[in-house]
Amino acid sequence: MLDDVKTAVETGKLKKIEGIVQETVDEGVPAGEILDAMIATMGVVGDKFQRNEIFVPEMLVAALTMKKGVSVIQPLLAGEGGPKHGKFIIGTVAGDLHDIGKNLVALMVESAGFEVIDLGVDVPAEKFVEAIKENPDCRVVGVSALLTTTMEAMKITVEAIINAGLQSQVKIMVGGAPITPEFAAEIGADAYTPDAGSAATKAVELAG
The residues that touch ligand B12, with contacts defined as CB under 6 A, are: 39, 42-43, 45-46, 49-50, 56, 59-60, 63, 95-102, 104-105, 142-144, 146-149, 173-178, 193, 195-196, 199
Task: Select 20 or 77, whichever has its Cβ closest to ligand B12.
Answer: 77
Q: What is the 3-state secondary structure (H, E, C) of 145-190?
A: CCCHHHHHHHHHHHHHHHHCCHHHCCEEEEECCCCCHHHHHHCCCC
Class of residue 27 by CB neighbours under 10 A (exposed 0-12, middle 13-18, buried 19+):
exposed
Query: Shortest distance, CB of residue 126 to ligand B12, whole angstroms?
Result: 19
Query: Shortest distance, CB of residue 119 to ligand B12, whole angstroms?
Result: 12
Query: Shortest distance, CB of residue 47 to ligand B12, whole angstroms?
Result: 6
Query: Shortest distance, CB of residue 25 to ligand B12, whole angstroms?
Result: 19
Query: Shortest distance, CB of residue 173 to ligand B12, whole angstroms?
Result: 4
Task: Select 39 or 162, whichever has its Cβ closest to ligand B12.
Answer: 39
- Nearest 5°: the CA angle 99, 72, 120 is 20
Task: Select 28 or 44, whichever has its Cβ closest to ligand B12.
Answer: 44
- Please list the residues that pair with 93 across neighbouring strands: 123
Task: Select 28 or 178, whichever has its Cβ closest to ligand B12.
Answer: 178
* 44-51 long-range contacts, CB within 8 A, separation 24+: 44/6, 44/10, 45/9, 45/10
The continuous run of DSSP H or E covering 47 comes out as helix 31-50
Task: Select 28 or 157, whichever has its Cβ closest to ligand B12.
Answer: 157
